[in-house]
Chain A
Amino acid sequence: MRRIEGFIQFLWDFVVGDDWRIAAGVVVALGVTALVADTSLATWWIMPVAVLALLGASVWHAARSR
């Protein structure tokens, strides 16, 4: 059981890293892009805007805690 927990923890650290908000934000941004893509609106700008906002928020959060 401890090995499974250890493996899950390793996977979490490997994929999600030390700021889970980045992973959550990326999933939400991809979901919003997919939803808007079903309409006639342009969607290409959603990911870049979301990515830069996520980067800024994550860097700001890390900088404030140091």
Chain B
Amino acid sequence: MIVDLKYFIENERAIWEELDKTLTKFENEPRSRLTLENAQRLHYLYERTGAGLIKITTFAAEPNLVHSLETLLARAYAEVREGRSRKEKFSISVWLYQTFPQTFRKHLRFFIASLALTILGSLFGGAAVGFDPDAKAAIAPFPHLLEDPAARVKEEESNVNPALARSKGRFSAALMTNNTRVSILALALGTTWGIGTVILLFYNGVILGAIICDYVRAGQSVFLMGWLLPHGVIEIPAILIAGQAGLLLGQALIGWNSSENVTQRLRSITGSLVTLITGTSVLLVWAGLVEAFFSQYHEPVLPYSFKITFGLMELAALAFYLTAAGSRGGNVSGDKSSRL
């Protein structure tokens, strides 16, 4: 049987045009909701157009017509066959008090791995500088870290009005953006089956360990804590959470202990990755503000005891937030699978 093409097009054109119009409306208003009648009508239009495409490809061939129907059906398919539910309206408070901490806890073992890698790197960096002080030159990423710690402390403490005083805002913005960029890199390197993230976390640990060892050896532990703790207790966990996301991505690509294919595994963690990296960015904004407006002031302007206490309080608050917030609420972490 060969289709009477002209008659067929004349008969079906209205259906195709109605489907096109409905889809265009949907595309222009993504948040619009369909009534039951509209949904049934859309489904009917989709199936009728599908049947038309089968007919036209089986019994006739008009390439342009086939192509236009395929395009129309592809658009309709996305709307009709979408199995994933539309999420409820986004709420900052729900995200902050439930989604982020729950997601963090759900993938806690990747955070622990991230922490372990950083500690391992720190031990390596500390040992390297401890046994060979000249190694500092190879490890330190910034020139000011090459200075003698005692000399730097003396300089900082004698400078009551630090050089950064007039550019705190700029400094803070630079810290936020740079750290966020590093965090995104830690996540993105998860695409190397996690190897890139492992290297990044280890290297960050090496730098941290080298600095700590250098200042401790010079007898400047109190200055170091007063300098690093206020912003470091937020900044370092933030980078670790980005690493957690990177390792989660790496594990999804590798697929240990999972019967799902790589597409399913990746699909199941996409929401978590976005939540973790967004949480990291929020923490880094706070860390950037503290580093620029608080950490750079030393004794006699701000007593070290006050800075250390402030840092420890921040750490306790962060630990409480990540481990306890949202534990009584429902699970809103958003991913389908918890196996990963």
State whether these chains interact. no
> Which A residues are within 8 Å of any B CB, using their own CB?
none
